[in-house]
Structure 1
Amino acid sequence: FRVQGRNVGAGYGRGGRGSGRGNGRDRVSLKIHLDNRRDRQLQRGAGGSATTTAVVMNQIKVVRGATIGKDFIMRSIGQYVDDVKPLLFRVDRGDITFFVEDDDTAAAIHAISRRVRDPNTNAPITFLLSRVSAGFATISMNERDLIAECLKKRYNAETHALDLSEFGLDELFRTRSLHLSLTRNNIMMAVVDLIDQYYGGVTALSMKGNRLRFLDFFACLLYRIKNVKTLDLSANQIDKESELEKLKGWPVETLFFENNPLCGSYSSAETYLSAVHRVFPKVTMLDGIPVQRSVSSIVPDLDENAKLPLFKPSFYGTDDHRALIEAFIVEFMVAYDDPDVNNRKNLINAYDENATFTVCAENLTDANEKKPYFNPGIYSTYRKTSHNIKCMERWERFREKVIYKGAMDIIVALRKLPATKHLMDTFLIDVSLITDKHMCFAVEGFFRDGLEKVGDDDELRFFCRNFVVINKGDG
């Protein structure tokens, strides 16, 4: 009776065990049918005429993504999903939206929702997925074939250069009385798609004389051809610096941008060059004139194949400073790691009456968005005293309780912290400042919670401790 009731309630089949399997297939078929019908409705609603069909794509919405930034979002997605090719980035009421053509890629991005953390607030980032009209229509196969023929004619395989200057006036189009200007969004997207398929190695690209004013659709090439070093945008209608910023990320070294309305808005050549370098910091040739590369571009980007500096041991400055600092650290850590935390009172002479002490404790989340810690009680103790400036909402109402001033208050705070065992053979010391009266240095390494002997299977914790030491004459 219960089986029949469940089948009747679902609205499928005629009951019985065999129809249960059929229900699953029927539900999948119905879902596909409804999805296809919705896509057709969107296409008809946005197509604009009986002869055009709107393109329906997967839209990803990053909730509150505007405060996070496009670059961080795409880097984070790239750590989980390969070969992401976003289209048409937009900011909508604080959210960032973009389109993804591939269904599997869109589903993979949606699957990592709330697994990526906001770098500012540490809150999980939400990715929403929907199917909507992308804002442009399809073109006929005849038009697409002509565009493909035009691109083939204009591509130089030896120099990896693609010349799209005055594209809409090409003889292939004029002789057929076709208006295939790159100012039409669907034509630009067809060009983007063909370049992605056949011309991914382009290093020089000319868009001269195409009357481009908005670069949203042209910027879709940013994630398809990533090594553009020569770019010609001259003789267009670009009148806002924000449009040029949509191309930020290309390693452009030679740029032609003259004869755009935006050029006339700069009061001097230095201002013009500065604006260009904010978008393309590697530019050394601007409108045919050699210019000095931006200072900020001297530091290699994370995406560049730059060699990291060799790892070096601790830095002390001089041997005398090394002996003094190491003696201080050993004496301090031995007293701090005493099995009886009450004996940390012996450190009172290490602190001045004007001294200040704070603790910042944080633990990374795992794949389940949890923060595992071997001993939750110990972790709770650290978090109660944590003065993490990136999580001000936790302590801003009682900040005076997590900042300890004066030798006595500091010792009381140290005695409340859990017992530890530091591994001194893992310590690295870096001295940042030495004067006649002051010395600043940082100590980093590993420690473990508790008093047991350190073993190979222990869960070690990383710490970094900064000391500002004053010279009192007697030590």
Structure 2
Amino acid sequence: LAHSNRFQFFQSHIIQILYSSLQIQFAQRYSKDDVIRALLNVISPEIFIPHYWRTEKNCVQFFVDDYSIAQRLQSVERNVQMHDGYRLSIRVRANCPVVSVDEEFKEKMKLVMAKRYNPQTKALDMSKFHADPDFRNVFCGLFRSQVMSAALDIIEKNIPDLEALNLNENSLSGLDSFKNVEQRLPNLKILYLGDNNIASLAHLLVLRNVPIMELVLKSNPLRQRYKDHSFYVRYHDGEELEPQILFDVNDTSSLPRAKASFLCDASGADIIRQFLEQYFIIFDSDNRQPLLDAYHEQAMMSISVPSASQAGRLQSFWKFNRNFRRIVNNEEINKIRQLKVGRLPVVSTLAEWPKTQHDPQSFTVDLTLFTPKLICFTVGGLFKEFESTNNPTGDIRYFQRQFIIVPAGGGFCIRNEMIFVTSAVGLQARAFLKPQQTMPAAGTAATPAAPNSLTSVQNRLQMNQQATTSAAAALIHLPANQPDDATKMQMVQAMSMQSHMNMEWSRKCLEENNWDYNHATFVFDKLQKENKVPPEAFVK
């Protein structure tokens, strides 16, 4: 740093200390009075008192205890001219005088402390201790740890029953010297620390075992962060605090135990359990097309992944990302493109995902809304992504999916879904690899063991009763109540008109799709595009 900026640099990067050092080159040939007079003439009408004047071989050095004066003297460098025409060169540094805490020094401290002690109130006034006239030629700044330690030693040996201590205006930035003060000064009840440089409440931890009833902290940087002092003081900054309202109970510092699920309505647990069983059995199978029955005709879905730092590790999902923080220039077209609307776009997107295996033991479930017309819940947990680009054996992912489902026919369907995917942390990945009950393949969904495949999920939903098998509780694809014959005939006629198939094949198409007209038309369109509809279906 250039010399002219060095002082400003130190003052802007450290806590402002009490003294500043001034060194004047080749001023030793002039008398002290001449040098001081020349400096005062330049900064007039301001004045200062030089402390600890010392003459050396090629310079003189002294200290000032006013930061503004030090800045002023720094600014007039080379403008101070002596009677012989020589211009003084002034160097200013943020510095403290060297102090040697010997027995002579301690004796002088003891004398000053003795005259400041009030035996009637058992109070010791050490405010602005360094400025005491008896320290005219000795530096005794309490903000130096060795000086404060010496002061506490003197108090412990000579005033062990001290009850009040005033340390205002001593530029204290910490209280490290007060360690074990509860043993050294067990009767200390009043402590003044105003007008100091204490920046953090952490510095007060050394006082936690001291029976202080009155604490003054005014004009300290920590006052801007000071919020709650009512738990350990009765007076603060001279004001009496209102008494605390306490209860006759034992305080505990432990947090509530984390729960794997939250249910706003316990009656929704069975529905959510069946949803998880059916949905993820299909999702982890080789064919996700049956999920079409789980989504509403106008279903909406979005997928987001975290920051670009994981783009490489989440390459399989990055192209679906609708994280607004990652959309360049907040382009509206990308927002629209990545929002999937309609059950076919939704399931088509999910079909592009790599093969997965979800871990039901890791699932957490939160049911936040449960009404006859709408259910909202969130599922989080782990799954394994097979054939990852970075790991042929598969990577462990963490997911969170929020579902909004609505009634549809005799069951429910997904109206809205938001998916978040990220890489699992090491602890999660290790938990996934532990031996556990695996989810059965889709082909076993109809076996008697399938309803128990997610026993851990049922436990996490805190189910105490047997799982019901009511058709009204099924979520993924429960056929609606079978239409009557007249309605079936109308559906067959509508299918025939729309598809141009004859009545026989139209009925066959509807029957094979459980009389779900929307799904039947979807299957027909798909098969027709693949040229798999036989020609006789169109013969009338």
Q: TM-score range by the shorter chain?
A: 0.3 to 0.5
Query: Could you tell me the TM-score, scaled by structure 2's length?
Result: 0.41
- Structure having the higher Rg: 2
Of structures 1 and 2, the one with the larger relative CO (CA 8 A, separation 6+) is: 2
